[in-house]
Amino acid sequence: MGASNGIQRGYSAPVMAWYLGTAWLQSRVLRNKVPRFMSWNLTFKCNLRCHYCASPTLKVPELKTQEILDGIDAFHRLGMRWVTFSGGEPLLRNDIGTIIDHAKSKGIVVFISTNGTLVPRRMDVIRRVDRITISLDGGPEAHNRVRGEKAWADATTGIRAAQAEGIPVACTCVLSRENLHTVDELLELAEELGVNIMFQPATKWLDSSDKPNDLAPDTDEYRAVIDKLIARKRAGARIANSPAGLKILRRWPDPTPIRSTAGWITCTVEPDGKLIASHITSGGLLEQAREDDAPPWEHFAAMQPLDSTEQPWCGPILELDLVFSLSPSAILNAARIQT
Ligand SMILES: C[S@@+](CC[C@H](N)C(=O)[O-])C[C@H]1O[C@@H](n2cnc3c(N)ncnc32)[C@H](O)[C@@H]1O
């Protein structure tokens, strides 16, 4: 990613190649687990109530600051080199600055995934992150319908504020029945803002019921929109998914058997310290049972990787799976997006 505003962001190309190559060798050839890319949901609390997201309804205890710092040290020793702090809304945690600084002090590349509303107020703490991902679920009407009044204005203000500080910004759009018809408007906005958008479907997450997500899009309409995205991607639109990733997303809700990285080189820490192989899967809630009070990193080696019937529908994880399966389209796409 290089330097911006005097801050070096991301790894240099040779260092990145080393971390990726050794993770590939360890996981795919030697069948060893190494938690190179971690997602860390710091809280399920949120200041928004997005209609497809169950996170704020969950009441779980949260790890204390020192437990998180110890966890960062332990996962770093196991091989963590990239971490995405997410939630809930991670910027709601008062100790977010301490957490980011600690991860950065270990040389870890830090991403943060946020709804953007608190970005201007928390600029002091996010200035050092390597990239910020802000949710953008369409133009103003669709985004506010899903996320609440003023959410769109706050998200776009957050994007511009981060860009003004030289922080690389990416966006995620969750395709739901509320915004399928707005992707052209969103791609125009992406062009205007100079951001790439990663798409993923509104699906089951944090929900162990048999019901589909209330905002899950109609399958045929959704697939027609993904066809449009594939064509727009070919024409150079600012879409972060690779062509191969879009083709797999097109099959939603049907899984495509690809080798998952979940539980091999990536996994997620939940706010209470529970370790899970992946979130946002077809199976909804996927928990790694904790039968003792041992800290999460002690469970990593024994955890069950995601099996091929559990498709992760989280856009970035799917792209990682494809890169580690040596998909040329995903590798080229990732290289292009990095630069
Ligand atoms: C859980 S949020 C946490 C970060 C932040 N609060 C936000 O709104 O972006 C991370 C991403 O997951 C997406 N998400 C939440 N629930 C989802 C679901 N049921 N299906 C697909 N994506 C979902 C959000 O839209 C967001 O892009």
Q: Which of 39, 51, 53 to mutate to test the pocket of ligand 1 (most atoms within 8 A of CB)?
A: 53
DSSP strand pairing (7-9 vs 37-41): unpaired
Q: Which residue has a Cα nearest atom 26 of ligand 1?
A: 135
Q: Is any atom of ligand 1 closer than 6 Å to the C-beta of 205?
A: yes
Q: Is any atom of ligand 1 closer than 6 Å to the C-beta of 174?
A: yes
Distance CA 302, CA 330 (A): 29
Distance CA 222, CA 50 (A): 19
The atom number, within ligand 1, closest to the CA of 113 reads 4
* 177 φ/ψ angles, rounded to the nearest 5 degrees: -65, -15
Q: Which residue has a Cα nearest atom 3 of ligand 1?
A: 87
pLDDT the model gives residue 99: 98
pLDDT the model gives residue 4: 62
Please give the distance, rounded to the nearest whole angstrom, from the Cα atom of residue 22 to the centre of ligand 1. 30
Q: Is any atom of ligand 1 closer than 6 Å to the C-beta of 114?
A: yes
Place of tokens 């080229």: 332
Q: Is 287 exposed, middle or buried (0-12, 13-18, 19+ CB in 10 A)?
A: exposed
Q: Is any atom of ligand 1 closer than 6 Å to the C-beta of 87?
A: yes
For 303-339, the pLDDT digits (tens) are: 777 776 677 889 999 999 999 999 999 999 999 987 7
The atom number, within ligand 1, closest to the CA of 41 reads 3
Q: Is any atom of ligand 1 closer than 6 Å to the C-beta of 84?
A: no
Q: What is the pLDDT along the chain (339 residues), one digit of tens a residue?
A: 666 666 778 999 999 999 999 999 999 999 999 999 999 999 999 999 999 998 998 888 999 999 999 999 999 999 999 999 999 999 999 999 999 999 999 999 999 999 999 999 999 999 999 999 999 999 999 999 999 999 999 999 999 999 999 999 999 999 999 999 999 999 999 999 999 999 999 987 777 777 888 899 999 999 999 999 999 999 999 999 999 999 999 999 998 888 889 889 998 998 988 888 876 554 433 344 455 667 777 777 777 777 766 778 899 999 999 999 999 999 999 999 877
The answer to whether 278 and 84 have CB atoms below 8 angstroms apart is no
CA torsion 325-326-330-333 (nearest 10°) is 150
For 104-152, the pLDDT digits (tens) are: 999 999 999 999 999 999 999 999 999 999 999 999 999 999 999 999 9
Q: Which CATH number fits domain 2-338: 3.40.50.1370, 1.10.10.10, 3.20.20.70, 3.60.21.10?
A: 3.20.20.70
